């Protein structure tokens, strides 16, 4: 058994991140779903949808919830899951975070959350500028 993953994001960002990560890795190593939150969606209805997904994804090992911006509506909906489920919520979801999670899918929830955080932080890199005439960094 392993933790489930739920992405709670605006629009289809979470679904696209899931698609990109599973395409890169050739599959999804754990139970994962995405919930899209639109600007006109009813908050209570979205919390109910998140709770339903959480119940489906959590087999007793807990749920890692990845969301966009701290304090945003999707993040607040994600945090509401803590009332009924064992969850760890991380904001600032990005592709390196999700790939790291999938590469360490067998870890317990708290360790998986730590790997997600390190993946997000390590995956943000200032790329060197390339001199287009020489094909090298200045």
pLDDT attached to residue 131: 76
Q: What is the rounded CA–CA span in Å between residue 128 and residue 137?
A: 6
The pTM is what?
0.91
Domain architecture of the chain: domains with CATH: 4-122 (3.40.50.510)
pLDDT band at 135; cut points 50, 70, 90: low
Q: Which residue has the higher pLDDT, 36 or 60?
A: 36
- Label the pairing between strands 87-90 and 63-67: parallel
Residues 71/44, Cβ–Cβ less than 8 Å: no
pLDDT band at 133; cut points 50, 70, 90: confident
pLDDT band at 137; cut points 50, 70, 90: low
Place of tokens 């997000």: 120
State the average pLDDT over residues 81-91: 93
């Amino acid at each position: 058994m392993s933790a489930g993953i739920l992405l709670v994001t605006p629009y289809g960002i979470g679904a696209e991140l899931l698609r990109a990560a599973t395409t890169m890795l050739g599959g999804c190593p754990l139970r994962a779903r995405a919930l899209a939150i639109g600007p006109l969606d009813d908050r209570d209805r979205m919390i109910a949808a998140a709770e339903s997904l959480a119940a489906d994804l959590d087999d007793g090992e807990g749920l890692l919830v990845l969301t966009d911006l701290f304090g945003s509506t999707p993040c607040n909906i994600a945090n509401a899951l803590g009332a009924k489920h064992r969850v760890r919520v991380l904001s600032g979801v990005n592709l390196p975070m999700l790939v790291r999670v999938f590469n360490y899918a067998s870890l317990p929830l708290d360790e998986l959350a730590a790997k997600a955080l390190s993946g997000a932080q390590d995956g943000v890199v200032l790329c060197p500028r390339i001199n287009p005439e020489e094909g090298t960094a200045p």
